[in-house]
Amino acid sequence: MIDAAIGVIAERGIRSFSLAETSRRLGVTVAAPYSHFTDRDELLVAVAQRAVAALAASLAAEISDARTATARLAAAARGYVRFASVNRPLFEVLFGAGLNKHDHPELEEAAQQISEHFLKPAHVLCPAGVHEAENLALTVATAAHGHATLLLDGAFGTDDHAVHIAMTRAADTARAIILGRKAITGTPRPQ
């Protein structure tokens, strides 16, 4: 059911997703999904949980060779954009399905896997302040999200080179945010 839902989203987009179309593709009655999910949102939550796990794995792979905290944050930004380019339907579910994390605590808990890839290096860069580290992580993640969204909207073009451009710009933006933050606070620049 989850795989079929991802297929429908890939073809029609998240706004046109329906349980009826998912059922049709599986060759089951329209009522069949309700044996496993209470409603459309519950199925989308299951898809979102898969998306979170895939994004977390993508981020982990991207940062695995990074040696410094700055490099890890830049790699996380790059990996975020790469994930969006390769997994558009999953990205759309995470950020376009309108699922309220407060209504679905399992999503909020799962999202911590993603946050940690931004927070851990931010804490290294901001050892004296938890709030500062959280702001840095959120700012870099927001910049990465913006680059990913612009990429999917075609702002960088529509070929493979566009993906490279968006990934590079997201990583460069992450480094600029880190350096800019350091210059403003007067603390030493990271390596």
pLDDT in tens, 37-53: 888 889 999 999 999 99
43 occurs within a structural domain: yes
Whether the per-residue pLDDT at 35 is higher than 90: the answer is no
Whether the per-residue pLDDT at 182 is higher than 70: the answer is no
190 occurs within a structural domain: no
30 occurs within a structural domain: yes
46 occurs within a structural domain: yes
Per the structure, the complete domain to which residue 134 belongs is given by 2-185
| pTM, rounded to two decimals | 0.88
147 occurs within a structural domain: yes
Three-state DSSP string of the chain = CHHHHHHHHHHHCHHHCCHHHHHHHHCCCCCHHHHCCCCHHHHHHHHHHHHHHHHHHHHHHHHCCCCCHHHHHHHHHHHHHHHHHHCHHHHHHHHHCCCCCCCCHHHHHHHHHHHHHHHHHHHHHCCCCHHHHHHHHHHHHHHHHHHHHHHHCCCCCCCHHHHHHHHHHHHHHHHHHHHHHHHHHCCCCCC
Whether the per-residue pLDDT at 97 is higher than 90: the answer is no
Structure confidence at residue 99 (pLDDT): 86
Rounded to 10 degrees, what is the CA torsion of 49, 119, 67, 152?
A: 50
86 occurs within a structural domain: yes
Average pLDDT over residues 47-62: 94
Whether the per-residue pLDDT at 89 is higher than 90: the answer is yes
48 occurs within a structural domain: yes
59 occurs within a structural domain: yes
The total domain count for the chain is 1
Q: What is the CATH number of the domain that holds 8?
A: 1.10.357.10
